Structure 1
């Protein structure tokens, strides 16, 4: 089940703070809140769209692309910063990474079973995880960053976050690590392949099997490269 965090009384959620209070234009907190609002819009629009229609399919693809590019940027840029600056950063990020993995697994299940009647049930379950994840981040994790980073630092992190988000994978890859350097190493080949899939969304089973094989290969390569780096440091 999604994690529930208690809000620190001295740290108001980012949803209640003005743009200036969140670091101004370019702040990672504003960029996060922008994506969260768009995810909420897509989930609501998907639920309201006609089942089986092209509009619902389009909204679903937009939702999936944003979920994975957003989460990848968090895991590559944002959560490592939180682990450095917050005493409980390790615990907080481990919990939200579990939420990300649950969403990844659900959306992978949807993607691998295009004709399964349970797809909408799985989609609704993924929506619940995403909404809980957004609440945890806006009420607990992001306020911790606001409390420890100044405006200039928030904008610097925001620029790095945006650069990663724009080049991130856009489809589920459950075997890929949730943390650097493994996720970043695997994300390079996966991102290019995912964006080709986004341009040709009607690809058949062969393309899907190729994507899964590439994901496994990228994950294996990340593990090998990570092990080599570790052995060099010893």
Structure 2
């Protein structure tokens, strides 16, 4: 038996998938992503090899950034639209936490994994990610669930997944947290991030070929963005 939270609403963490609206509902998608992020944080803490911890942290960072982008471009605007009379303090608070996670992930890319400062930054990022999950599952998502029907929750979930898959994969702390700025900035950043991801995968840190290839990465990214822009322009004029 579960108990309602202080706001009188049941946390989505206490609900079955059917109660949340099925696997495609934004409530279920968010809940699964939160569980995946928590599993990665636990795996990081259980790992003793510094290189393995670094790989887990990189995966966690990408997943957290994708999750936050989908929230900021789809979930939060839907919340503000369907709960027009609600105070915007909750989404503004979570967006502020997203900024803190972005800042932390950017700092971790530059820090020594064996330094005390690195571990302190990791602890801070983990705490914010877990805090956000509780804010969303205990408050924001149940409020949205009360305001809209199952079909709408599934439609929001489908749009959320599209944005999650198309999001940037690296921290960009200076990107706006709200539409349309985050959407407009996210398209070219997602392209450049994937070019950099491909280089990281093909040319590990320390490889001589990587040092020769890195100056070419910005040019390759620019070409990719231009190609995407031309493609989108042709589609609009069809």
Same fold (TM over 0.5): yes
Offset at residue 19 of structure 1 (A): 1.0
CA contact (8 A) 2:69 2:167 kept: yes
Please name the residue that 2:53 is paired with: 56
Secondary structure of the 1:154 match is helix
Please name the residue that 1:90 is paired with: 88
Q: Is 133-142 or 85-94 further displaced after alignment?
A: 85-94
Offset at residue 21 of structure 1 (A): 1.0
Aligned-partner Cα distance in 2 for 1:181–1:164: 13
What is the correspondence of 1:161-180 to structure 2 with a 5 Å cutoff? 161-180=160-179
CA contact (8 A) 2:101 2:128 kept: yes
How far does the alpha carbon of each residue in 1:85-117 deviate from its partner, in whole angstroms, 9 at most, with x for none? Answer: 222251110011111111111111111334671
What is the correspondence of 1:187-202 to structure 2 with a 5 Å cutoff? 187-201=186-200, 202=204
Please name the residue that 1:15 is paired with: 13
Please name the residue that 2:35 is paired with: 37
Please name the residue that 2:231 is paired with: none
Please name the residue that 2:98 is paired with: 100
Per the alignment, do residues 89 and 69 of structure 1 end up closer, same or farther by CA in structure 2, a change over 3 Å counting?
Answer: farther
Higher CA-based Rg:
2
What is the correspondence of 1:1-234 to structure 2 with a 5 Å cutoff? 7-9=6-8, 11-53=9-51, 55-86=52-83, 87-114=85-112, 117=115, 118-201=117-200, 202=204
Aligned-partner Cα distance in 2 for 1:88–1:51: 47
Offset at residue 200 of structure 1 (A): 3.0
Aligned-partner Cα distance in 1 for 2:74–2:136: 15
Per the alignment, do residues 207 and 109 of structure 1 end up closer, same or farther by CA in structure 2, a change over 3 Å counting?
Answer: farther
How far does the alpha carbon of each residue in 1:46-84 deviate from its partner, in whole angstroms, 9 at most, with x for none? Answer: 01111413x212211110110000000000000001111
CA contact (8 A) 2:44 2:56 kept: yes
Q: Is 153-162 or 191-200 further displaced after alignment?
A: 191-200
Q: Is 97-106 or 29-38 further displaced after alignment?
A: 97-106
Offset at residue 20 of structure 1 (A): 1.3
Per the alignment, do residues 207 and 179 of structure 1 end up closer, same or farther by CA in structure 2, a change over 3 Å counting?
Answer: farther
TM-score, length basis structure 1: 0.81
User: Pairwise CA RMSD of aligned residues?
Assistant: 2.3
TM-score, length basis structure 2: 0.80
Aligned-partner Cα distance in 1 for 2:196–2:112: 15
Per the alignment, do residues 193 and 114 of structure 1 end up closer, same or farther by CA in structure 2, a change over 3 Å counting?
Answer: farther
